[in-house]
Structure 1
């Protein structure tokens, strides 16, 4: 399928789809196959608006560059870049360079959820097997050539691309399960049940019946993150669900998720998600 895309030639298509009464949450918005030579080409992930979306870009010839949160990458043939916006990244063509690639732009909360899992598991640059690159190319070609694409067809293309990336990142082997010690499992259960309550590290250490220092070391080793970061992640996940599933104010949501007030919730949410809570609600509901 990659060969068919290359034969199709350079092309760009932006979809204009009618809003559905039953929105889909993983949608292709546009796609392209492009060549850049001896020109200025640079995209800054902090300067592309506040609406969240995902870019998948696979290099076929030449080379591009990516700065992802300060980490530098060379984007060589056979490598696939995955980035979401808004985010602190920039990808570009070096002066006098040549870069050829195909790409898909997706939106919708399911596309972004899958992207976060892939980025956490593999980072922003992956090397896929040939059959998975073919699946990406097929998704791109279907957007470029499909006549009168429906929202369902655009969603099929988006899911095809995301599942190819998922298979390339996680494969078919189940993740190994490491038993969580009973004391820490007790703490996790308490956190999930009391997100609006007192979840200070000292209090959690008491529940685990450990000293504070021993608890922090044990929890971080078992869970892969510190107790305070784990609590913040769980609280923000609940904030997201309440923003999307209810019309509650930010202040009311703060009271249900352990934040001192709406201002503190908004600052924490913006720092972690790159958007204010109400902007997140508006953009996700519009894209969903």
Structure 2
């Protein structure tokens, strides 16, 4: 449980349990519960050696920053960063900021496969369900609370954390409709998490890791809409929900969903729904 880890207090532990005659495909390299504040804290993914490994890092309080393939992400409370190394990324603490988090490091073929699959499908920053966070925190606590764990024990805990992350993201539900390529699934998740920000074609192509022309063609073929039409549809759908479910001013909703001003939003809304946002709200979404 996360509350148990917090009660335990800040601690880091490097893990190098003695290997037996059998190699595991998931092994822990370290774990910790830390708080950083007003200090130089910066890690670059291409400057941590050539041996592949994985880091899962969950933010409890404060804020960290991540640059992943040229896209910047805010690491806020409730978000989990999943990274594989070596890779072109950097995460750091801004000056005068604080950041409290727990983390688990791992290596091994299966750890890398699972982490990279999650990154491909959901991106490097995700928001798992609270139950998954509790399971990851419990695994972290077991890794740092025992000074001399056996190799099998550390493998179990890392695998438990990865499976908790999987369950918190995908659950037991079967996929509905065709399964998208990982690059496009990652892009859809990114759009959903950044609707209030500029989402031009070039930015989305970078998230997908594809050239602009290749991205537009594949997106249109697999999603059934152009990237621009998809972003507009998602913005309008969220704005429509916010009009009915909240008392936020129309201009606030327009800004939160990425529309270029309240006037543009009102005109776009009228074209889509045949009435103004205020009329739609007054009629209870009818």
Query: Matched residue of 2:55: which SS?
Result: strand
CA distance in 2, matches of 1:40, 1:68: 19
What residue ranges of structure 2 are gaps of 5+ in the alignment?
Answer: 180-216, 225-286
Matching of residues 51-130 of structure 1 within 5 Å = 51-130=51-130
What residue ranges of structure 1 are gaps of 5+ in the alignment?
Answer: 180-216, 225-288
C-alpha offsets along residues 108-148 of structure 1, whole Å, 9 cap, x if unaligned?
01000001110111100111111110001001000011253
CA distance in 2, matches of 1:154, 1:166: 19
Q: Does 1:174 align with 2:180?
A: no
**Aligned-pair distance for 1:21?**
1.2
Which residue in the other structure is 1:145 paired with? 145
**Aligned-pair distance for 1:222?**
5.8
CA distance in 1, matches of 2:19, 2:47: 26
Q: TM-score, normalised by structure 2?
A: 0.62
Query: Matched residue of 2:28: which SS?
Result: strand
Q: Does 1:13 align with 2:13?
A: yes
Q: TM-score, normalised by structure 1?
A: 0.62
Matching of residues 129-278 of structure 1 within 5 Å = 129-176=129-176, 178=178, 221=221
Larger relative contact order (CA 8 Å, sep ≥ 6) = 1
C-alpha offsets along residues 185-231 of structure 1, whole Å, 9 cap, x if unaligned?
xxxxxxxxxxxxxxxxxxxxxxxxxxxxxxxx79x94699xxxxxxx
Query: Matched residue of 1:66: which SS?
Result: strand
C-alpha offsets along residues 149-196 of structure 1, whole Å, 9 cap, x if unaligned?
1111111101111001111222211223549xxxxxxxxxxxxxxxxx
C-alpha offsets along residues 71-95 of structure 1, whole Å, 9 cap, x if unaligned?
1100011111001100000000001
Number of aligned pairs? 188
Which is worse superposed, 77-86 or 13-22? 13-22
Q: Does 1:50 align with 2:59?
A: no
Query: Matched residue of 1:141: which SS?
Result: helix
CA distance in 2, matches of 1:32, 1:20: 25
Which residue in the other structure is 1:27 paired with? 27
Q: Is residue 131–residue 168 contact of structure 2 (8 Å, CA) maintained in 1?
A: no
Tell me which stretches of 4 or more aligned residues in structure 1 moved more than 3 Å. Answer: 176-179, 220-224
**Aligned-pair distance for 1:19?**
2.0
CA distance in 1, matches of 2:40, 2:23: 37
CA distance in 2, matches of 1:119, 1:168: 14
User: Compared with structure 1, are the counterparts of its residues 35 and 151 closer, same or farther at alpha carbon in structure 2 (3 Å cutoff)?
Assistant: same
